[in-house]
Structure 1
Amino acid sequence: MSTFDNEDKLSSVPLPALEDTCARFLEWSKPLLTEQEFADTEAAVQEFGQADGPGPKLHADLVRYNEDAATHSWLDDFWPARYLGRRDRIALNANFFFLFRDTPLRGFTDPQVERAVRLIAATVNYKIQLDAERIPAAVTRGQPLSMEQNKFLFSTTRIPGPVQDSVRAPYSDEMPGPATARHIVVFCHGNAFRMDVIGPDGRPYSLDDLTAGLRGLQKTGLVPAAMTTATGHLTTMARAEWAAARRRLIARDTSNAVALETIETALFCVCLEDLDPADDLAACDQLLHGDSGNRWFDKAVSLIVFADGTAGINVEHCELDGTTILSFVDAILTGTPEEHATHSGAVAQGVPAIEPVTFVLDDGLQAEIATAAQSFARFAADTATATLSIDEFGVDEVKRLRMSPDAFVQLGYQLAHKRAKGFTGATYESIATRQYSRGRTEAMRVVTPEVLRFVAVMDDPTAAPNERRAAFRAAATKHVERAKQCQAGAAPEQHLWELQLIQQRRGAALGVPESPRLYETPGWHTMRDDYLSTSSAPSTTIRYFGFGATSSRCIGIAYVLLPDRFHLYLSTPRPVAEMMHTFADRLREAMHELRALLDEQ
């Protein structure tokens, strides 16, 4: 079976019935609302859904779109609008990272080059196997998963636009079939270099060739680029501003278009960092934002390697979700470098061709680069982060206690948040839906009536252990039930969101010239105004996973579920950093308390 054999066999993401979505929206938002807020929301939903109301008109248009033979899914327009339509910066705000597990590099005089070569060889091997469609199709619990996102791993770059961004990628009308590029772009001290990793005959360079190439490149890039000439800083700008700067770059000199072509068509980026991270938190922070002059945040995949060989990946999110990247990372971190080189057909060809990627800049562009660098440095400094390791137990222990690991940690978050802040707030969790054709994720809202009862009972001094356990298990059961609803495409938020976008695109023609009142209700705003934004990455090949703060008061929680421990990376705006640290303290206590509670029975 080839990599993409299952794609035509997978069913499309189901489009929920409008009445089901409206009912679920009320159910999901109610635990977060006062009686009056819920009454106001319920009235607006009834108005929205009535036979002559705006909901049926918008939904009928979505049904027509979904039934069109050219449509893969009713979400075909939603995903570009959601990801490519965002106008703020994607660096730190949208891109995510993984910190790889350690690789023994003792005895090597240059662990950075050794680790980088290993990662390059393994990644090129993955590309060779993907081109030949020999990457095994993913399957979970016997269910085939869509592999469509794998087409965006190589030679894929997000291109800034004034209103909405676009994606430059292979397997497209502009670039049919796999990526044909033979080069990567390596960043070193803010300098960019084009380096061939595949020879003229299509065979990858050997490990020794790559090592010689990187060592030569390091010497060439030894002098750090000035802040005003490190063009990677521009990719941290708000998207419309970056689009305008990109146009000015191209207009300034024809060679700048050539430089952009080199970066945008590169298979992937490798960023060599000259620091040794003091600890996991320092490594995570650098993977998330680092020296923005040494990054190209629009690139789909950037492998980042520190001076001591510590390594990770920064991912542009518009076409790639965590589950796809996890499978990719699992593959490149499994096996020896020699095995990857042999499997790819690598042969000795001499030192790869290496050329600096330079831009012709005038005073205005240099000032713009410097301003972007300084602005992003302030933005990164205004984000507080923390790592939390629960290393006394992990997934295996939670399963022994007959509990869903995800439900366990999510309820731990709810209890810790209530104890840290005194209330229960809206919580988002990403649920993968790759069992559908071109499936991505669904938005789960964690807070249920069972969660409210659970956090109340846990802090009720009169409640007996049996009562607390019963509340805990009831909340966990409801959590698993809702997660399964999301996996089945039966969730309200993205459906209502797409109807809102349809109204904005062509509401007047559909008889809905004004935004429906539903989208101004306490329910719509409160359910989506996250206090916790969560996402998990279950893999033993990574140590930490992370993303930036998602709002002015939200704590981002990226968590890795491991057999013997849990690793969490937390992020929040610095003005509310103290609350994040309090939450982390309460979470550690809650996790141990919940484990003990289950272990008592």
Structure 2
Amino acid sequence: MNASEEISTRTFGNEEHLPRVPLPTLDETCERFMEWCAPLLTGDERARTEAALAEFARPGGPGRALHAALERYDAAEGVHSWLDTFWPYRYLGRRDRIALNANFFFLFRESDQGQAERAAALIAGALDYKRRLDEETLPPVLQRGRPLTMEQNKFLFSTTRIPGAELDTVRAPYTDAWPGPSDARHIVVFFRGNLIRMDVLGPEGRPHTLDELEAGLRTIMKAEPAPEPSAGHLTTKARAEWADSRQALLALDPRNAEALDTVETALFCLCLENFTPRNTLDACDHLLHGDSGNRWFDKSVSFVVFADGTAGVNVEHCGLDGTTVLAFVDEVLGAPAEQLSRRSGAASQGLPFIEPVEFVLDDALRQDIEEAAASFAAYGAATATATVSFDDFGADAVKALNMSPDAFVQMAYQLAHRRAKGVTGATYESIATRQYRHGRTEAMRVVTPEVLRFVEAMEDPEAGTEARRAAFRAAAEAHVRRAKDCQAGRAPEQHLWELQLIQKRRGAELGVTEPLALFDSPGWRIMRDDYLSTSSAPSANIRYFGFGSTSDQCIGVAYVLLPDRFNAYLSTPRGVAGAMHVFADRLREAVHELRGLLA
């Protein structure tokens, strides 16, 4: 948007005026790629990567043909961003299980409400948000006075990922198949393996009152455990296998199509657990990979409420990033439920309509479900997690030391990882780019030459305080520069990745069918083989944020960095859990040590 253009107050009123995601030239991307991967490579690995890159980008070479196709796509009518095709392939193209591997969670701030009361409050807040979204009276989010894209909000309600043999699809409103906002009036409540439809909006589309929602939930919570195994377990399978199971459900009995339709069109899921978590870590773990009979991991939004009122949300990632869900959660939790319910136009209409959602199963499907449940339970058990909390340290303390808070904690991760594992490894950080039309995130790689020098200085017994401090500040400043580059669209990884995907989709048509050495080069493989995968979610309404690790040696680091505190949730395969716990200990030490260094 130009500074002179007036900002629309309508939710989606600024979308067409937002600037487009910049598409770098191929030469710019190649230069940045070598800069980004070089710190992780030996001399020989660097030489091999440079040779593969030169072959890829030579005049008349494969990279030029693929990039030219991307330029044509970016200029085509109806295309919002050169990443429009990238995102579906990145998320919907993955073939492993999304439960634990891709979905993420937020643990909400504590509340003194009981389970049914808290759950009713979350429903009421979500319905108020949906009403404002539907009417486009929800103000667009502004960043430094400029509007951000609100496009992802279209995937908050009635959105479900549908498994496919080779590529998943999404069933959602605001599409040709389902124009405009969702007209669904129901949610699906999970309790003790039962799936139950509850109409949260009356026949005229007005929300039920808080008391009525709570009464409906209390009625549901009288249910005995489900007599049949829950089809929810199937959503934990690898995607092609789940697609086969879904087809088997549809082929067995027409009532299964109705049941799937009820789940897939529901505004969201509400998962009620009949136990209280042992502690905060236990709550986080159940939000990430709880009882899969009580989940539908393909649903974009699933609120989870435990027996003591502890609550959070599990989110399917294909259409939603953390910043969008955070803004939603802040609205739902940011005002008393009574106020939100009144504002939504809630009216007394009696007890909500409640009906079981029942799947017809045969022995083969029962066995399929039971095997999926056992497999996912084992997968969850093979994941180790930990929380690290700093109650006396946060963003304000770092700013007082004249440093970027995010750069500070990222450098602390690097130092802690080196001390825990003895290596500096590839580190991913997610950078939001919602200032662009249909913008989502950019992939940042944290390890720079300055990071290597900083870690070496901290580990060098001969280095004095002044040298360490200077190395720390230089690394933090390099981090800020690279983050700004990512925000400005100057980053190589997603650009090259999309060129790789274009060859996969259209190689024969473009005359690029040969194997491309670049994507098997040490630089490409090593830069993207995460040792740390990091992302932040700053909100006072969130205690913890979390996701699974991305590889066998990876530690997932999801962090909530607030003015007065700093919480991180760590995850890694159980086989390397020892190194994660050492990392947690070294992180506590590193934060204390680096604070002292700057002070």
Under a length normalisation based on structure 1, what TM-score does the superposition of the two structures give?
A: 0.98
User: How far did residue 509 of structure 1 move?
Assistant: 2.4
Determine whether 1:187 maps to 2:195: no
Q: Is residue 201 of structure 2 the alignment partner of residue 201 of structure 1? A: no
Segments of 5+ residues of structure 2 without an aligned counterpart are 1-8
Tell me whether 1:235 sits opposite 2:243 in the alignment.
no
Q: Partner residue of 2:146?
A: 143
5 Å matches for 1:86-485? 86-105=94-113, 111-219=114-222, 221=223, 223-225=224-226, 229-485=229-485
- Matching of residue 39 in structure 1 with residue 47 in structure 2: yes
Q: Which residue of 1 aligns with 2:23?
A: 15
Matches within 5 A, 1:64-103: 64-103=72-111
Q: What is the CA-CA distance between 1:392 and the residue it aligns to?
A: 2.1
- Structure 1 CA distance, aligned partners of 2:30 and 2:549? 30
Cα offset for 1:515? 2.4
Write the letter of the residue equivalent to 1:185. V
Please give the per-residue CA displacement for 1:497-524, whole angstroms capped at 9, x wherever unaligned.
Answer: 0101111112222221112111111000
Alignment of 1:57-68 (within 5 A): 57-68=65-76
- Corresponding residue for 1:108? none
CA displacement at 1:224 relative to structure 2: 1.4
Say if 2:112 and 2:309, in contact at 8 Å, map to a contact too. Answer: no
Q: How far, CA to CA, are the matches of 1:74 and 1:549 in structure 2?
A: 28
Q: Give the AA of the match of 2:16.
A: D
Q: Match of 1:205, as an amino acid? A: H
Equivalents in 2 of 1:344, 1:98: separation in Å? 24
What residue in structure 1 maps to residue 5 of structure 2? none
C-alpha deviations, 1:407-452, integer Å up to 9, x for none?
0000000000111111100000000010000000000000000000
Question: C-alpha root-mean-square deviation of aligned residues, in Å?
Answer: 0.8
Q: Structure 1 CA distance, aligned partners of 2:516 and 2:217?
A: 57
Q: Given residue 598 of structure 1, which amino acid in structure 2 is its aligned partner?
A: L
What is the CA–CA distance in structure 1 between the aligned matches of 2:60 and 2:156, rounded to whole Å?
A: 46
In the TM superposition, residue 388 of structure 1 has moved relative to its aligned partner by 0.6
Contact 2:559-2:569 within 8 A present in 1 as well: yes
SS at match of 2:552: coil
Query: How many Å separate the matches in 2 of 1:452 and 1:127?
Result: 47
Corresponding position: 1:559 with 2:559: yes
Q: Residue 208 of structure 2: SS of its match in structure 1? A: coil
- Structure 1 stretch displaced more, 474-483 or 210-219: 210-219
SS at match of 1:507: helix
2:579 corresponds in structure 1 to: 579
2:568 maps to 1:568: yes
- 149-158 or 464-473: which moved more? 464-473
TM-score, structure 2 normalization: 0.98
Q: Secondary structure at the match of 2:161?
A: strand
2: distance between equivalents of 1:216 and 1:187?
13
Deviation at 1:49, TM superposition (A): 1.0
SS at match of 1:557: strand
Alpha-carbon contact 1:229-1:361 (below 8 Å) kept: no
* Separation (CA, whole Å) in 1 of partners of 2:595 and 2:193: 47
Q: Which residue of 2 aligns with 1:500?
A: 500
Q: Distance in 1 between matches of 2:70 and 2:10?
A: 33
Deviations 1:94-116 (A, max 9, x none): 000000001123xxxxx100100
The alpha carbon displacement at 1:328 in A equals: 0.3
List per-residue Cα deviations over 1:452-494 (Å, max 9, x = no partner): 0000001111111111111001000000000011011110000
Residue of structure 1 equivalent to 2:509: 509
Runs of 4 or more, structure 1, over 4 Å off, are none
Whole-angstrom distance in 2 between the partners of 1:414 and 1:452: 9
Distance 1:482 1:519 in 2: 23
Are 1:521 and 2:521 an aligned pair? yes
Count how many residue pairs are aligned between Structure 1 and Structure 2: 591
